[in-house]
Structure 1
Amino acid sequence: MASDKTSNVRVAIVGGGLVGALNACFFAKRGCQVHVYEAREDIRTAKVVRGRSINLALSHRGRQALKAVGMEDKIVSKGIPMNARMIHSLRGKKTSIPYGKKGQYILSVDRANLNRELLTAAQQYPNTTLNFEHKLLDCQTEKGTMTFQRPDGNTLETTCDLIVGCDGAFSSVRKQFLRQPRFNYSHTYIPHGYKELTIPPKGNEFAMEPNFLHIWPRNTFMMIALPNLDKTFTCTLFMPFENFEKLTTGKEVLEFFEQYFPDSIPLLGVEALQRDFFQLPPQTLISVKCSPYHISSKYILMGDAAHAMVPFYGQGMNAGFEDCLVFDELMDKFHNDFGTCLPEFSRLRVPDDQAIVDLAMYNYVEMRAHVNSKWFIFRRHVDNFLHLLFPRTVVPLYTMVTFTRIRYHEVIKRWTWQTKVINLGLSVTGVATAVSGVYFLVKYMPDKLNAGLQSWKTFIYHFQKTP
């Protein structure tokens, strides 16, 4: 909401990616004078789009942020609903595991198109200026002064009331935070990288079922595929770097896929697979944690600049968008007072964002290995059944993360409690079943019970004698 108090406030947003562009909409809507500085060229006019292209999964948190700036319907109309995971076994059997209740789904959206839409929306505000090919060189923390290198090679110096760092996992703004006392920072490269491949349409239609996130789980690595509006699928192979390094020829790649992903070969195409696999080296995956997210009332970090995460929960963008929404809600609550909003934002978001960074890593293990387990599938059915019976008391982990705005760190607390209670319940049920079985044997089949006890005695005797 615009006000006299914000109309003269200059806000600099460093980074014109997804979170930066959405933040521009939030601050411009509030009436601030918004200046976006992006190191790359304008993605809307660039012939070659540089950067990550992993498809994005838009869910409730991100949609709520888009809704707040009037962009939800437009973005949702250009996404493809994914109602469930489709698990591809080694033998080619496919099994569907729904994400939640009927009607709950996540959306496959194209990163580049979403970025274009958000930049265009931001530019429609008369109080927004977009500056591309402006690389941040330096910040004067106390003054809020920044120096940029412009496209012509000259420098630009500007001063703003608030500087918002939305410039990604390798944030230049965050480097200024490292100069501050009591700023905690860590980053971790996981030993797994990724390569992207494409499944083309088949007869002008999707080559696989489109309304699913397809997963080929292989315990220590996996491949996923998300649908696109042009009826292709973007496949991403996640695997330890040492595995990638063993594949040096097209023949070796084909043999690898014949061993682990045989049903994908006709979909990808032999020639395309052997060619595209070597287009780029395997890309790295990084987790970033830091705290606090602010310096005084001048600087704040959001999105990957504050909490980069591996992509296995589909929450990187959603958490970044929720950052924007939470800050906007704080601006309403504290009447646009940066001095109060910034430290409160850190207090609220640091534990939440660090929780989802950890959950994202956990979900990689679930996606590549646990989905193969009958116990995992059984527990999902138990969780969903209990959620149906007690919708407010028992909520599955994935549902809390993806389909609610329960704070991420509260999600972990609730999940831990639920897991203990449900496991205890299953144990009690198991014991009760066993006792009932023994009672039945004692009453109706005593001979078989005695034979069973004798077998156990014999087993224990030989076990004790074994050196």
Structure 2
Amino acid sequence: MGSDTGSPRRRELTLIGAGLAGSLLAILLSQRGWKVTVYERRGDPRIKGYESGRSINLALAERGRHALRAAGVEDAVMGQAVMMRGRMVHAADGGLQLQRYGRDDTEVIWSVHRADLNITLLRAAEQAGATIHFHRRLHTVDFDAGYARLIDDRDDQPHDIRFETLIGTDGAGSALRGEMVRKAGFGERTEFLDHSYKELTIPPGPDGEFRIEPNALHIWPRGRYMCIALPNDERTFTVTLFLPNHAAGGTGDPSFASVRSGAEVRALFARDFPDALPLIPDLEQDWEHHPPGLLGTLYLDRWHLGGRALVLGDAAHAMVPFHGQGMNCAFEDCVALADAMDRQPSLASAFAAFEAQRKPDAAAIQAMALENYVEMRDRVDDPAFLLQRELERALQQRHPQRFVPHYTMVTFMRIPYAVALERSEIQRGILVEATRGRTDLAGVDWDALAQVVHERLDVLEDAR
């Protein structure tokens, strides 16, 4: 690769943020011979323990696993992951239904705990040669001069550094993005959902084992709100309750405005999630000590300043968590950026190529994540939706190279998100048309439906 400036120091990179994307990118770039230095505002989680209370468990899918394989850390991560075969839907009447994600156990997702994953990646980054500095919060950047000031919040001491190129992997609240926006605008906008979340915990049972089915993502859909639970390898479940910030007029739905105390959340669970209530012995304490987390979608017109600075992952395109793709998308970003840096003659051209490739895909998964929230909280127990799912599986079996379910494309394959969205919209139209007015699939004209599928959908190349 050529040089942007002719400087022999161009093989040095400074990353802001040592979370999941930052530590994975540090591995990939260190393996390619870059001298990588990472600055992180928090303390080292391997020493001081990990911040908790606002960390939805992570669903690792094929895109993320591919990135971990590229970094050589998949085995270490998968040793701590718990398989989830599908959604275990807890109906309001106490009934249970497992809705599989795929056809069999080759098509599953994996629950991973953010802290465990971060620690694994940090160790691997240092082993690959990266240098990581903790307690260094980015304060200001002079992009023209190549200087940045970082602050140690323990004593408010400044630490000035010189840099060639900054890459922001510091999450939705990215300090580097803030500096880039001040420098060049970027059209930054965040659209907040009218819902927030709180994290709770189901501990192991008296026998030290899982209290409920471990190999599923549990979901309690209740219309405009819901509760989910993801398993951890220490036999706990991370529970996340999603509520509106304010109740819609006249609905009587609970909200963060109406459920404020431990007593009020206990009453809510007793009414709407009665089978979950005895599983969460510290419900009141968790509720009162964990602040609610905001849910929003971040949009930027640009992701880079020439070859001087770039943001990726949540720092560039934060999304709501309802498709389980935030981490997977960020990890895919890391691989795409490393590949672009391998191919392009300069960092400026690599950053531009990366942005051109990934921006449409980021916009697509952001849209699909918003849509999936409505599905999770309000459609998973709807008869019309379930019939469409049944037809979807039947068409997949009959036309495996053409009719590939939406969830399969997003989760078990690596086709571009934008392609998955385009095909999903076409397929949804077919499903809605074919099931309109039906209560079952009896009498479906499969030959006529096959013609529609062949006319509207091209053969899809398998990109697993």
Range into which the TM-score falls when normalised by the shorter chain: 0.7 to 0.9
RMSD between superposed Cα atoms in Å: 2.5
**Cα deviation, residue 227, structure 1:** 0.6
- The TM-score with structure 2 as length reference comes to 0.87
User: 1:209 maps to what in 2?
Assistant: 213
Q: Displacement of 1:71 after TM fit?
A: 0.7
Instruction: Summarize the Cα distance change of 1:366–1:32 in structure 2 as closer, same or farther, 3 Å threshold.
Output: same
Deviations 1:130-187 (A, max 9, x none): 1111111211223432221246544333233321001111111111221344622110
- State the shift of 1:434 in Å: 9.3
Answer whether contact 2:10 2:164 (CA < 8 A) is retained.
Answer: no
Structure 1 counterpart of 2:95, from 82, 93, 96: 93
Change (3 A) 1:8 1:275: closer
CA contact 1:8–1:33 (8 Å) conserved in 2: no
Cα deviation 1:200-243 (Å, max 9, x = unaligned): 22221111010000000000100000111111111110001231
Q: Which residue is 2:23 aligned to?
A: 21
Equivalent residue number for residue 310 of structure 2: 300
The match for 1:178 among 169, 177, 181 is: 181
Cα distance 1:55–1:388, how it changes in 2: closer, same or farther (>3 A)? same
Task: Summarize the Cα distance change of 1:334–1:428 in structure 2 as closer, same or farther, 3 Å threshold.
Answer: farther
Q: Any residues of structure 2 matched to 1:286-297 within 5 Å, and which?
A: 286-297=296-307
Q: Is the 8 A contact 1:19 1:321 kept in 2?
A: yes
Distance 2:264 2:142 in 1: 53
Partners of 2:59 and 2:109 within 8 A in 1: yes
Q: Higher helix share goes to which structure?
A: 1
Corresponding residue for residue 246 of structure 1: 258
What is the distance in 2 between the residues matched to 1:31 and 1:435? Answer: 59
Give 1:51 shift.
6.8
Identify the match of residue 401 of structure 2 among 377, 386, 392.
Answer: 392
Larger Rg over CA atoms? 1
Identity within the alignment, %: 39
Q: Aligned-pair distance for 1:277?
A: 2.2
Contact 1:6–1:32, Cα closer than 8 Å, also in 2: no
Given the alignment, which residue of 343, 349, 358 partners 1:333?
343
What amino acid sits opposite 1:77 in the alignment? G
Deviation at 1:245, TM superposition (A): 2.4
Q: Residue 447 of structure 1 aligns with which residue?
A: none
Matched, 1:108 2:111: yes
Contact 2:53–2:198, Cα closer than 8 Å, also in 1: no
Aligned mate of 1:132, from 131, 134, 138: 134
Q: How far, CA to CA, are the matches of 1:402 and 1:411 in structure 2?
A: 10
Instruction: State the 1:308 CA deviation.
Output: 0.8
The letter for the 1-side match of 2:278 is: P
- Residues 12 and 163, structure 1, Cα contact 8 Å, conserved in 2: yes
- Aligned counterparts of 1:323 and 1:435: Cα–Cα separation in 2: 42
Which runs of 5 or more residues in structure 1 are unaligned? 437-467
What secondary structure sits across from 2:188 in the alignment? strand
CA distance in 1, matches of 2:442, 2:98: 30
CA shift, 1:326, in A, is 0.7
Paired residues, what number?
A: 429
Aligned AA (1:412): L
How much has 1:279 moved relative to structure 2?
Answer: 1.9
What residue identity is the alignment partner of 1:245?
A: A
**Alpha-carbon contact 1:241-1:282 (below 8 Å) kept:** no
Alignment-derived partner of residue 43 in structure 1: 45
Report the Cα distance in structure 1 between the residues aligned to 2:340 and 2:384, rounded to whole angstroms. 43
Distance in 2 separating the partners of 1:26 and 1:51: 30
Which position in structure 1 is the counterpart of 2:201?
A: 198
CA distance in 1, matches of 2:8, 2:34: 5
Task: Provide the rounded CA distance (Å) in 2 between the counterparts of 1:214 and 1:256.
Answer: 18
The change in CA–CA distance for 1:197 and 1:32 in structure 2 (over 3 A counts) is same
Aligned to 1:263: 275
Confirm or deny: 8 A CA contact 2:387 2:435 kept in the other structure: no
1:83 is matched with 85
**Structure 1: how far apart are the matches of 2:193 and 2:404?**
30
Aligned to 1:280: 290
Residue 445 of structure 1 is matched in structure 2 by none
Q: CA deviation at 1:419?
A: 2.1
Letter in 2 for 1:344: A
1:378 lines up with 2:387 in the alignment: yes
For residues 85 and 79 of structure 2, what CA distance do their matches in structure 1 show? Answer: 16
Tell me the TM-score normalised to structure 1 length: 0.87
Are 1:421 and 2:433 an aligned pair?
no
Match of 1:73 in 2: 75
Tell me the amino acid that sits aligned with residue 291 of structure 2.
Answer: P
Gaps of at least 5 residues in structure 2 are 2-6, 247-254, 446-464
Q: 1:53 to 1:14 in 2, by over 3 A?
A: same
Q: Which residue of 1 aligns with 2:325?
A: 315
Identify which of 147, 150, 153 aligns with 1:148: 150
Letter matched to residue 239 of structure 1: L
Moved more, 82-91 or 387-396: 387-396
